[in-house]
Each structure stands twice: as C-alpha cells, then as structure tokens.
C-alpha cells in the first residue's frame, strides 16, 4: 500500500543497519512481544524454516526493539487495532 511505503522503507533500512533479514526481524520481534507464545511462519522451503529457527535464536538489541516500537506502536499508542501498527 502506497500510504505505508515510508514506514516499510524505514523498517527495511533499520534491518539493513543491523545486518539482519527483515523477515527474521519480524519473526523475532513478534516473539519478543509480551503475551506472544508463538507465530505462524508459513514456510515454503527448508531455507524458510532455517530462517525462522534463526529468528528464534537471535535476540534483538534493545535499540532495535525501541525503534520497532516507534515504527509500529502497540495497540493504544498508535490507534485502534489493526491500524495501531500502520498509523
């Protein structure tokens, strides 16, 4: 969606700054959220499974987590769900 392109570009730049794959960061960040006990990964290849396992083993730096919270604020800080993560 065109209106979200700036946020997506900032996310991709943030991942690149940390030399991390955006898909792995997304999985690791999701798993770091309070109350989240699992995530759906939908792998199509063995590499997708390996990447998801790597995401589970890779703790994200606090600076990265803080920036992700700025880009995608939790519900209540960025608007009602599901727009909280896109507005």
pLDDT, tens digit, 9 for 90 and up, residues 10-56: 999 999 999 999 999 999 998 888 888 888 888 899 998 998 899 88
Token representation of residue 66: 């803080």
What average pLDDT does the segment 72-85 reach?
60
| The predicted structure's pLDDT at residue 1 | 66
DSSP letter string over 22-83? Answer: HHHHHHHHHHHSTT--------SSHHHHHHHHHHHH-PPPHHHHHHHHHHSPPTTTSSSTTG
| The predicted structure's pLDDT at residue 83 | 55
Q: What is the pTM of this model?
A: 0.76
Which residue ranges make up each domain of the chain? 2-85
């Amino acid at each position: 969606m065109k209106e979200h392109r700036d946020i997506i570009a900032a996310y991709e730049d943030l991942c690149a700054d940390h030399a991390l794959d955006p898909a792995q960061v997304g999985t690791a960040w999701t798993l770091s959220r309070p109350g989240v006990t699992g995530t759906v990964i939908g792998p199509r290849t063995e590499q997708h499974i390996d990447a998801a396992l790597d995401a589970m083993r890779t703790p994200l730096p606090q600076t990265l987590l803080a920036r992700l919270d700025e880009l995608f604020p939790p519900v209540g800080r960025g608007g009602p769900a599901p727009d909280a993560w896109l507005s």
